[in-house]
Amino acid sequence: MPYRVTFVCTGNICRSPIAEWVLRHHVEEEGLEVEVDSSGTGPWHAGDGADDRTVEALRRAGYRSAHIARQFEAGWFDSYDLIVALDRGHLRDLRAMAPDEKARAKIRLLREFDPAAGGADLDVPDPYYGEHADFDHVLALVEAAVPGLLDEIRRT
C-alpha cells in the first residue's frame, strides 16, 4: 500500500497545488511509492482549476500541473498517512476537524520540514492577492521543505 500525503491550504488553488506537484515530481524521480494530492479548508474554489499564476510558476520551474480544487473532508483522515497544512490557520482548522488524537498526529506544517526555517514563522504566505513573484516565493518555500519531507516519508 502506498504512503499517502495530502497538502491543505485555504481554497486549493495556490499553495497546496504547488506543494502537491513539487512533491509528486520528487517522489516520481525517486521511484517512491507515494500518492500525493491536495485540498482546501473551504469550498470557495471547489471544481475550479489552479490559479493561472500557480500553473505558470510551476511550469517556469519545470513542474507539471493538472488540478481540480476540492475541499478537505473530515472523513478523509483515515485515508492519509500525512496531512500537511500550509499555515497555522489550516493547521488549526484541520486539528478542529480531526476525530481523534491519532488523526491530529498526522497533521504537520509544511515548513516544519525545512531546517532553515528554524524558529521563524512557519506559515507559507497566501499569494492569492499578490503578483507572480509571490507565487515564485511560495514555490521556493515549498522546494526548501521538500527534502525534509522526503526524509520523513523515507523513514516510514
In angstroms, the CA 15 to CA 135 distance is 8
Q: Is 15 a catalytic residue?
A: yes
70 an active-site residue?
A: no
151 belongs to the catalytic site = no
| Ranges assigned E (strand) in the chain | 3-9, 34-40, 82-85, 107-109
Q: Which of 15, 24, 53, 111 is catalytic?
A: 15
| Catalytic annotation, pick one of 81, 126, 134, 136 | 126
Of 107, 109, 137, the residue nearest 125 (C-alpha) = 137
Estimate to the nearest angstrom the gap between the alpha carbon of 140 and the chain centroid.
Answer: 13
Q: Which is it for strands 34-40 and 107-109: parallel, antiparallel or unpaired?
A: unpaired
Euclidean distance between CA atoms 107 and 8, whole angstroms = 10
Residues marked as catalytic:
9, 15, 126
